[in-house]
């Protein structure tokens, strides 16, 4: 023993048994990664275990307040850590909820979080683990195996009929044994360190580590009998009393985070409700990787005491990327999780909080464009989700939207307010075009009419953009309008170049095309006409269905749902285009070839509109055209 520390209670000897369980495959993979790839900051295992202990204590406190009968109700709520540098061990004990056998298996023998397997697979395929990737995932309890040779997890659950158990592992498998002796309620983790990590059995080293986080631990924290902290809740403090470094450390401790927060919002309100909230925007959207990763979200407290660590209904769903704490002194402490979602109070909190958060995001956008840009890239998708799903906040969210447009440089975005400020005097709508990329939209036939008139067009490059515009319907009294729509009134004619085909020829060309093309593919060609929107392209297929845009159709198709009717289009010709002049001539001189050319013009127009379902037919036709062209010298 060293440091004159009180001797820890001797570890009870587990009843001998040979039964060792294999870890679930994912746990083994995770351990493999933890042990072999996670070299930095090995001391974080202490933070992870203390924070688990603290969670367990917050849970027991809430159970007691809710009137549950718990085992050893008088046990003092605290975390006690002891070090023994001679033995090379560190022990972390808490008087929290503890675990029963099933919980031991489920919580530290298995990884219950769905998506873990896929995540670990991705790490492997990425050529090994990278610290950030692991950090995003959070290894929690298993981080102890970065330093441990052996871990003995003694525990006694809070349930009256709980057993005294010892879970043990050297990292290759685990055993669970029933103890003959009585354990204190809660958990006691005895870590036997690997030789090269014996530093973590030294009181001074451990004290340094603990002091970094101790002020965020909501219960007394003792090291070798010495009390390290006075319990305080930084969210109840005044903003001016908390430094940026403290916010960041709190984030790491309380939210089990490994990253630096992108931004945080700390606010205290007295009316209409007493609220103290400290909310963090993480640096990354982990949902982007499509794995349902375990995430700590926003926990709900009442005067420092945890009421629910994952309260449903406290915030709208689209704000699930936030982490942190909401504390409301108005909340009854003994409220049960089940009824909470339905209480008028939680609904009121939800409204007040979401309004305040949206206001904060707006402030960020005004204050720091670069930061907002980062936020938008990571979390813009949640804002869009909010517009579609949260009708209460829909209008407040619209100013947060950002798009690239024909006015912005590639990679830069505009807000709807900025778009509105650049409206042409008689502009009737907010125009948008959909495509997979900016380049695809810029090379399509629809933009030119708007460019020629100096009208800005928003580029919808996200699959959800159309959907969002549909839900918004309008912004500042201007309707959203698909720039690929047939019946757009763009007002004046742009400066035209070249002579148009004479009126009579044009009418007969349109009639001829209509009769030649009607049966092409699954598209309904409702009309062939001329207009003044085209400048450089010979023709464009315009959507005549006001409610189902071409991109919406694609979206429905990708979800294996088709819209009721076949897409109907109008083919608009550019009467000044030389190809249209030549096609008109060709009708007289070589009708068969003219037909081929007409079909190809239509196919090109459909392709640009994203409506060509079967491009294979096109290849054969192009060969025919090439052959004809080649034999014409």
Q: Which of residues 90-119 bind ligand ADP (CB under 6 A)?
A: 94, 96-99, 107-108
Q: Which residue is nearest to ligand ADP (CB)?
A: 140
Name the minimum Å distance from CB 15 to ligand ADP: 22
Kindly state whether residue 24 participates in binding ligand ADP, applying the rule CB under 6 A. Answer: no
Name the minimum Å distance from CB 94 to ligand ADP: 5
Closest to ligand ADP by CB, 175 or 297: 297
Closest to ligand ADP by CB, 214 or 485: 214
Residue 280 has which token pair? 């963090």
Kindly state whether residue 56 participates in binding ligand ADP, applying the rule CB under 6 A. Answer: yes
Name the minimum Å distance from CB 217 to ligand ADP: 13
Q: CA-CA distance, 527 to 576, in Å (whole number)? A: 19
Closest to ligand ADP by CB, 116 or 549: 116
CB 118 within 8 A of CB 161: no
Closest to ligand ADP by CB, 56 or 400: 56
Residue 518 has which token pair? 């009607």
Of the candidate residues 29, 52, 286, 295, the single one contacting ligand ADP (CB under 6 A): 52
CB 210 within 8 A of CB 45: no
Residues 6+ apart with CB under 8 A from 181: 12, 164
Contact window for ligand ADP (CB under 6 A) among 48-56, 468-476, 571-579, 603-611? 48-56
Q: What is the DSSP string of 155-210?
A: EE-SSTTPPEEEEEESSS-EEEEE-SSPPPSEEEEEEEEPGGGGGGGSHHHHHHHH
Name the minimum Å distance from CB 326 to ligand ADP: 20
Q: Which of residues 267-326 bind ligand ADP (CB under 6 A)?
A: 294
Q: CA-CA distance, 484 to 551, in Å (whole number)? A: 10
Of the candidate residues 46, 53, 397, 612, the single one contacting ligand ADP (CB under 6 A): 53
The helix (H) or strand (E) run that includes residue 277 is strand 275-281
Kindly state whether residue 30 participates in binding ligand ADP, applying the rule CB under 6 A. Answer: no
CB 385 within 8 A of CB 371: no
Number of residues that bind ligand ADP (CB under 6 A): 18
Contact window for ligand ADP (CB under 6 A) among 137-145, 404-412, 574-582, 604-612? 137-145
Per-residue buried b or exposed e for 573-607, using 16+ beta carbons within 10 Å of the residue's own CB: bbbbbeebbebbebbeeeeebbbbbbbebbbbbbe
Look-up of token digits 């339905």: 342
Closest to ligand ADP by CB, 52 or 393: 52
Closest to ligand ADP by CB, 162 or 380: 162
Closest to ligand ADP by CB, 298 or 447: 298
Q: Which of residues 167-196 bind ligand ADP (CB under 6 A)?
A: 187
Closest to ligand ADP by CB, 94 or 385: 94
Look-up of token digits 């060709």: 586
Of the candidate residues 136, 184, 252, 256, the single one contacting ligand ADP (CB under 6 A): 256
Q: What is the DSSP string of 594-614?
A: HHHHHHHHHHHHHHHTT--S-
Kindly state whether residue 156 participates in binding ligand ADP, applying the rule CB under 6 A. Answer: no
CB 334 within 8 A of CB 66: yes
Closest to ligand ADP by CB, 113 or 348: 113
Residue 460: CA atoms inside 13 Å, Cβ hemisphere, count? 23
Kindly state whether residue 449 participates in binding ligand ADP, applying the rule CB under 6 A. Answer: no
Strand (E) positions, 35-185? 79-84, 89-94, 148-156, 164-169, 174-178
Look-up of token digits 């919406």: 552
Binding site for ligand ADP (CB under 6 A): 48, 52-53, 56, 94, 96-99, 107-108, 138, 140-142, 187, 256, 294
């Amino acid at each position: 023993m060293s440091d004159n520390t009180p001797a820890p209670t001797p570890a009870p000897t587990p009843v001998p048994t040979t039964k060792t369980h294999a870890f679930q495959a994912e746990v083994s993979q995770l351990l493999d990664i933890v042990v072999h790839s996670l070299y930095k900051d090995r001391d974080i295992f202490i933070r992870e275990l203390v924070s688990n202990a603290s969670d367990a204590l917050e849970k027991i406190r809430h159970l007691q307040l809710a009137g549950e009968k718990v085992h050893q109700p008088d046990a003092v709520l605290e975390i006690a850590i002891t070090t023994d540098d001679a033995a090379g061990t560190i022990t972390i004990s808490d008087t929290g909820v503890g675990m029963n056998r099933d919980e031991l298996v489920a919580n530290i023998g298995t990884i219950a979080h769905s998506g873990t397997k896929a995540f670990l697979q991705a790490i492997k395929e990425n050529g090994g683990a990278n610290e950030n990737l692991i950090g995003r995932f959070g290894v929690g309890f298993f981080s102890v195996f970065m330093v441990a040779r052996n871990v003995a997890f003694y525990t006694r659950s809070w349930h009256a009929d709980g057993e005294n158990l010892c879970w043990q592992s050297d990292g290759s498998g685990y055993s669970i044994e029933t103890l003959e002796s009585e354990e204190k309620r809660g958990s006691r983790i005895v870590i036997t360190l690997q030789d090269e990590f014996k530093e973590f059995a030294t009181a001074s080293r451990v004290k340094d580590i603990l002091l970094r986080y101790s002020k965020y631990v909501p219960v007394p924290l003792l090291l070798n009998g010495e009390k390290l902290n006075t319990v305080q809740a930084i969210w109840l403090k005044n903003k001016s009393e908390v430094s940026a470094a403290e916010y960041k450390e709190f984030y790491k401790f309380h939210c089990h985070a490994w990253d630096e927060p992108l931004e945080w919002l700390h606010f205290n309100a007295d009316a209409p409700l007493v609220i103290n909230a400290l909310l963090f925007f993480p640096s990354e959207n982990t949902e982007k990787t499509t794995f349902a990763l375990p995430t700590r979200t926003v926990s709900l407290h009442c005067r420092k005491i945890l009421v629910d660590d994952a309260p449903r209904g406290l915030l709208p769903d689209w704000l699930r990327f936030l982490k942190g704490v909401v504390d409301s002194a108005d909340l009854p402490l003994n409220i049960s999780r089940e009824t909470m979602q339905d209480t008028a109070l939680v609904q009121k909190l939800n409204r007040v909080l979401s309004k305040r958060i949206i206001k904060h995001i707006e402030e960020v956008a005004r204050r720091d464009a670069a930061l907002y840009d980062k936020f938008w890239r990571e979390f813009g998708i949640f804002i869009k989700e909010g517009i579609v799903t949260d009708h209460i906040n829909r209008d407040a969210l619209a100013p947060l939207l950002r798009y690239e447009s024909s006015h912005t440089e590639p990679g830069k975005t505009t807000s709807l307010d900025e778009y509105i400020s650049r409206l042409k005097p008689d502009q009737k709508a907010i125009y948008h075009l959909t495509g997979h990329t900016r380049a695809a939209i810029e090379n399509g036939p629809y933009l030119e009419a708007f460019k020629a008139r100096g009208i800005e067009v928003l580029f919808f490059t996200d699959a959800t953009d159309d959907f969002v515009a549909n839900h918004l319907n309008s912004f500042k009294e201007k309707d959203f309008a698909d720039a690929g729509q047939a019946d757009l009134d763009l007002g004046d004619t742009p400066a035209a170049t070249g002579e148009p085909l004479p009126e009579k020829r044009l009418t007969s060309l349109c009639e001829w095309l209509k009769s030649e093309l009607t049966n092409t593919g699954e598209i309904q060609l409702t009309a062939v006409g001329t207009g003044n929107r085209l400048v450089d392209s010979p023709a464009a297929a315009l959507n005549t269905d006001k409610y189902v845009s071409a991109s919406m159709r694609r979206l429905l198709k990708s979800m294996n749902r088709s819209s009721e009717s076949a897409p109907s289009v109008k083919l608009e010709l550019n009467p000044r285009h030389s190809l249209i002049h030549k096609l008109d001539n060709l009708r007289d001189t070589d009708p068969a070839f003219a037909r081929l050319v007409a079909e190809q013009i239509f196919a090109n127009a459909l392709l640009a509109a994203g409506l060509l379902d079967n491009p294979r037919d096109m290849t054969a036709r192009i060969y025919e055209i090439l052959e004809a062209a080649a034999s014409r010298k």
